[in-house]
Amino acid sequence: MDLSYSGEELAFRDEVRGWLAANLPADLRDKVGDHEHLSKEDLLRWHRILAKQGWVAPAWPKEWGGTGWNVVQRYIFEEECGYAGTPPLVPFGLAMCAPVLHKFGTEAQKKRHLPPIYNGDLFWCQGYSEPGSGSDLASLKTKAVRDGDHYVVNGQKIWTTLGHYADWIFCLVRTDSTAAIRQEGISFLLIDMKTPGITVRPLILMDGGHEVNEVFFENVRVPVENLVHEEGKGWTVAKYLLGHERMNTGRVGISKRELTKLKAFAARQNKDGKSLMDDPRFRDKVSRVEVELMALEITNLRFLDQMRRTGQPPGADVSMLKIKGTEIQQSLTELMMYAVGPQAQPFKPLQADDGFDAFAASLAPRYCNTRKTTIYAGSNEIQRNIISKMSLGL
Answer yes or no whether residue 294 interacts with another protein by CB under 8 A.
yes
**List of residues 6+ apart from 261 with CB closer than 8 A:** 33, 336
Answer yes or no whether residue 312 interacts with another protein by CB under 8 A.
no
Instruction: Report the site for another protein in 186-245 (rule: CB under 8 A).
Output: none
The backbone region for 35, taken as left when phi is positive above 0, alpha when psi lies in -120 to 50, beta otherwise, is left
Answer yes or no whether residue 324 interacts with another protein by CB under 8 A.
yes
Taking the C-alpha atoms of residue 307 and residue 244, their distance in angstroms, rounded to an integer, is 13
Cα maximum dimension of the chain? 76
CB atoms within 10 A of CB 320: 21
Answer yes or no whether residue 70 interacts with another protein by CB under 8 A.
no
**Among 107, 245, 292, 327, the one annotated catalytic:** 245
Answer yes or no whether residue 270 interacts with another protein by CB under 8 A.
no
Q: How far is the CB of 360 from another protein (least distance, A)?
A: 19
Interface with another protein: number of residues (CB under 8 A) = 43
Interface segment toward another protein; rule CB under 8 A; list 50-58, 167-175, 248-256, 317-325:
317-325
Q: How far is the CB of 277 from another protein (least distance, A)?
A: 6
Answer yes or no whether residue 292 interacts with another protein by CB under 8 A.
yes
Answer yes or no whether residue 11 interacts with another protein by CB under 8 A.
no
Answer yes or no whether residue 7 interacts with another protein by CB under 8 A.
no
Among 288, 312, 349, 359, binds another protein (CB under 8 A): 288
Answer yes or no whether residue 3 interacts with another protein by CB under 8 A.
yes
DSSP string, 272-341: TTEEGGG-HHHHHHHHHHHHHHHHHHHHHHHHHHHHHHH----TTHHHHHHHHHHHHHHHHHHHHHHHHG
Taking the C-alpha atoms of residue 338 and residue 335, their distance in angstroms, rounded to an integer, is 5
Among 56, 172, 296, 340, binds another protein (CB under 8 A): 296
Interface segment toward another protein; rule CB under 8 A; list 47-55, 151-159, 318-326, 351-359:
318-326
Answer yes or no whether residue 136 interacts with another protein by CB under 8 A.
no
Annotation marks residue 245 as catalytic: yes
Q: How far is the CB of 135 from another protein (least distance, A)?
A: 12
Answer yes or no whether residue 271 interacts with another protein by CB under 8 A.
no
Q: Write the CA distances from 11 to 36, 123, 174, integer angstroms.
A: 32, 34, 49
Q: Which CB, 154 or 385, lies closer to another protein?
A: 385
Q: How far is the CB of 225 from another protein (least distance, A)?
A: 43
Among 297, 286, 287, 316, residue whose Cα is nearest residue 253: 297
Q: Write the CA distances from 133 to 70, 128, 142, integer angstroms.
A: 36, 9, 10
Taking the C-alpha atoms of residue 80 and residue 261, their distance in angstroms, rounded to an integer, is 16
Q: What kind and span of H or E run contains 220?
A: strand 210-223
Among 277, 260, 274, residue whose Cα is nearest residue 339: 277
Instruction: Report the site for another protein in 143-162 (rule: CB under 8 A).
Output: none
Answer yes or no whether residue 267 interacts with another protein by CB under 8 A.
yes
Q: Which spans of this chain sit near another protein (rule: CB under 8 A)?
A: 1-6, 9, 72, 260, 263-264, 267, 277, 280, 283-284, 287-288, 290-292, 294-296, 298-299, 301-302, 305-306, 309, 320, 323-324, 381, 384-385, 387-388, 391-394
Active-site residue set: 245
